[in-house]
Amino acid sequence: MTSEEVRKSILDIIADIAPDEDLSGIQDEVKLRDQFDLDSMDFLDIVMELRKRFNLEVPEADYPQLVTMSSCVEYLTPRLKDHQPVG
């Protein structure tokens, strides 16, 4: 997957978890939890969706790498390079 495909996949996961959120104005460098009404359970749901959709384990020590859109893309792109985009 390219970084753009990874970004779209992350947006799709957030849209599934928080369907009422407007994702059109997402700021890549601002914490996702500060931009959307996401609590710690929503964050864990995002991690679980990554596992389910891509068979990707994210160690708890790496959770800080998933706080902003840009850090998510940076962390996930090399790990998903051999995956095909979902949907």
Q: Is 68 helix (H, G, I), strand (E, B) or coil?
A: strand
Mean pLDDT confidence for 41-55: 92
Per-residue model confidence (pLDDT) at position 81? 87
| Domain parsing of the chain, residue ranges | 3-21+30-79
Tokens describing residue 20 = 């009422």
* Cβ-proximal residues to 39 (8 Å cutoff; 6+ apart), any chain: 33
The predicted model gives 15-37 an average pLDDT of 91
Is a pLDDT exceeding 90 seen at residue 83? no
Measured N-to-C along each axis, helices 3-17 and 40-54 cross at an angle, to the nearest 10 degrees, of: 130
pLDDT for res 8: 94
CATH topology of domain 3-21+30-79: 1.10.1200
